């Protein structure tokens, strides 16, 4: 892909899913380990084609429920039961 001599916009990089270099457009990119602070997860990425380095930044945008919680009374009852024998008997 032809080099445009400018960083791609954040919107364009997002639309691309961060799958290509925001400088040259190459898909020859690698990411360092993921790091985070109090409100952002980020990952330093590098392009194997043009050597550009940038940080992809992630914020929570949704969640998917997986397992419901138990109400407090049920939870405490199961703890009492689990203090019994190995099979949970008191």
Which residues contribute to the site for Zn ion (CB under 5 A)? 21, 23-24, 26, 47, 49-50, 52
4 vs 35, which CB is nearer to Zn ion?
4
Smallest distance from Zn ion to CB 79, Å: 55
Smallest distance from Zn ion to CB 60, Å: 28
Report H helices in 2-71: 10-15
Smallest distance from Zn ion to CB 47, Å: 3
Q: Which own/partner pairs from 79-82 qualify as long-range (CB within 8 Å, at least 24 positions apart)?
A: none
Number of Cβ atoms within 10 Å of the Cβ of 53: 12
């Amino acid at each position: 892909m032809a080099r445009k001599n400018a960083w791609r916009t954040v919107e364009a990089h997002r639309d691309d899913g961060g799958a290509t270099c925001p400088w040259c457009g190459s898909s020859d990119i690698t990411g360092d380990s993921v790091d985070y602070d109090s409100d952002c997860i980020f990952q330093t990425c590098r392009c194997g084609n043009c050597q550009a380095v940038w940080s992809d930044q992630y914020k929570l945008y949704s969640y998917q429920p997986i397992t419901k919680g138990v109400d407090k009374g049920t939870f405490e009852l199961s703890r009492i039961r689990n203090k019994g024998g190995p099979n949970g008997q008191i």
